[in-house]
Structure 1
């Protein structure tokens, strides 16, 4: 794939207020327009600056998908840009309605909840199998002692099992089970049986066939339909789809289903600010109706229901995970190129690399919460796990 770099003068009046503002923000981040550094931005077509200021990341992302600009190291471009915090000052008027919808509408009700499964997770098991590890774990790996993606995902799954203090014979619930990576690992290594729910038909079909010999039950079911007791509960990378209007209902459900003395591990991406709205580009092209929670929002939702036994942030590990996924995607792309096309290629790279840059900048986080009903006698000590 080749692109042609054009002079900035061809497309934007570099004496205009928009250009000067863009140049100031980029210069603060150590990024040059049409510069030679790998993280610099290079224009291939008109209107990039105008689209970015009119629609924020939605306009910037669509301009990238259209081939109007490039950066050799897109992940580092976003790392530098987001690290300045100056993008928070860009508030496109056209996105005010979007922000109000996110604040006042329940965009994750039962009727709308399956949209993300159909749009994103049902993209194809073959596609995801080339990008992910052997268990198809589509969440952040744990890289403390890992040297590759396979090791990082196994370490994460084992960490969850140890944090939940799983023992043979336990009955475990996985809310948002994906392709069953946690359930299969817990059954194979800790002797539990498990029930998992997902809103992706492709995921459920794959997991049922792959793990038909393990004591696992996979259900195509909305989490709000659950009402049965479990010894322990895990939810790994699903809470991002719950939505602020449903946080409390979600926590009440987990409280209702968790047996006395049991533990609930909640693994989720999170944001630093309560009063913000979902990224419009991610919402439109990657995770429809997604809504990252803040610490405060999660605290409000669990108020009076759970004791927070442990909170572990390893968000920087998501940078490594996303870069590993990107490497795998690039290696596998030739087998999907004819089917999915150039625009999808650019969309997927923008997704993986912009998110890697966001985690690298610590703009978003990855939390593992361990919650109990009434508190663990004598305390919960992660150092003893």
Structure 2
């Protein structure tokens, strides 16, 4: 039984007060009555989540489980609410004595962690049962956790392109579909694709790059993905679009590709999953798949610095298990160290913020269908994750880089034009 009103406890942790209204199940409140956003803590389980996992993990658990309600913002796009809270909420670090008194006042019984929501993945220390980090088995499990949610759900969120990577907006008012087509075309242009060439697309998702390159550039394209759901959808799309003579998607680890002598390799959104320590082996493997003068385009989320940094607890448990990010300098260095000539790099972080904005809008538009497909908890995870990621890109906490490398000949020829033509 708590002796401190929960609202008072929350207010006491705020340095400059709350910009939102807070209401707790014990009847206590904090923050302005006329606030546009209300956070409502509905029960003791929600309080226990917050007390046993301080920070984003506890908040996410309570929110996903429905124990923490957000009023005044759509759960499919809580961007405005999150921006308001992040911009105007300053936590005060309590002293050790204050912390002990606070915990006692809120009730020691709340320090027993409730079972996490079913959407949560195992913590890192328990994943050792699945194999070493970034082993084939563990990578397959991590990919399945995120990408095998439901193809129907992804169709609602991603739209007709079924493309789950950063788009490239040719104009500010371009549609999501136009921007995704431009992204694939930009990659094709950077790779210098021509009819009859051979392309390997690793981490191919639902086959968007493979199909675009085959349809518009006449290349023979092979895509590989660890997601069985993605591979099945992509194969059907290839057949439906009549591209079976040029395009192929396999349910396979990229490390199982035995073919070589490709004219080009694209890696769009895979590097985030492989682990920084694996970069030398990864880029060496891709270099070895290329013919001399063949090009590699690596497209991935990066940090604005080059220190290795694991993703936060919420992202790791609910979105990208085992995900690791670092800066573009590390990507460039790793490619150079395996003998690739780095010819060009580009930061597209503003484009990713816009992409996430449009994915959130799709989720809002199809909210009822999405909830019916995957459940309220999972739909909430996606709304929260995409809105928070949008904020992170806007604030330059994360970036998106494309890096173009070439396997030169023994005498240094790279086959590149004097100036970029894309």
Q: TM-score, structure 2 length as denominator?
A: 0.76
> How far apart are 1:378 and its partner, in Å?
6.9
Aligned: 1:323 with 2:341: no
Alignment partner of 2:135 out of 86, 101, 109: 109
> Where do 1:137-176 residues align within 5 Å?
137-145=163-171, 147-176=174-203
Aligned equivalent of 1:198:
225
Contact 2:336–2:342 (CA under 8 A) maintained in structure 1: no
Aligned: 1:231 with 2:298: no
Alignment partner of 1:332 out of 359, 366, 370: 366
> How far apart are 1:52 and its partner, in Å?
7.6
Q: Distance in 1 between matches of 2:293 and 2:301?
A: 26
Residues 248-257 or 129-138, more deviating: 129-138
> How far apart are 1:135 and its partner, in Å?
2.5
Alignment partner of 2:343 out of 306, 309, 316: 309
CA distance change for structure 1 residues 84 and 109 in 2, over 3 Å: closer, same or farther?
Answer: farther
SS at the partner of 2:174?
coil
Residues 74-83 or 59-68, more deviating: 74-83
SS at the partner of 1:298?
helix
Aligned equivalent of 1:361:
395
> How far apart are 1:70 and its partner, in Å?
2.3
Q: Distance in 2 between matches of 1:53 and 1:19?
A: 19
Alignment partner of 1:373 out of 407, 411, 418: 407
Aligned equivalent of 1:124:
150
> Where do 1:1-385 residues align within 5 Å?
10-14=5-9, 20-21=12-13, 23-24=14-15, 34-35=31-32, 36=34, 38=36, 42-45=39-42, 51=50, 54-67=53-66, 68-70=68-70, 72=72, 74-79=78-83, 106-145=132-171, 147-212=174-239, 213-214=242-243, 215-227=246-258, 228-273=260-305, 274-305=307-338, 306-374=340-408, 376=414, 381-382=419-420, 384-385=421-422
CA distance change for structure 1 residues 180 and 282 in 2, over 3 Å: closer, same or farther?
Answer: same
SS at the partner of 2:326?
coil
Residues 225-234 or 42-51, more deviating: 42-51
CA distance change for structure 1 residues 192 and 378 in 2, over 3 Å: closer, same or farther?
Answer: closer
Contact 2:157–2:360 (CA under 8 A) maintained in structure 1: yes
1:18-64 CA distances to partner (integer Å, 9 max, x unpaired)?
8555x23887xx778645555x5624347669838944321221122
Larger radius of gyration: 2
Q: Distance in 2 between matches of 1:205 and 1:179?
A: 8
> How far apart are 1:361 and its partner, in Å?
1.5
Aligned equivalent of 1:4:
none
Q: Distance in 2 between matches of 1:312 and 1:258?
A: 22
Q: Distance in 2 between matches of 1:83 and 1:106?
A: 39
Contact 1:272–1:364 (CA under 8 A) maintained in structure 2: yes
Q: Distance in 2 between matches of 1:80 and 1:222?
A: 42
> How far apart are 1:153 and its partner, in Å?
0.6
Q: TM-score, structure 1 length as denominator?
A: 0.82
Residues 332-341 or 148-157, more deviating: 332-341
CA distance change for structure 1 residues 84 and 279 in 2, over 3 Å: closer, same or farther?
Answer: farther
Unpaired runs of 5+ in structure 2?
A: 23-30, 95-112, 114-122
Contact 1:76–1:357 (CA under 8 A) maintained in structure 2: no
> How far apart are 1:304 and its partner, in Å?
2.4
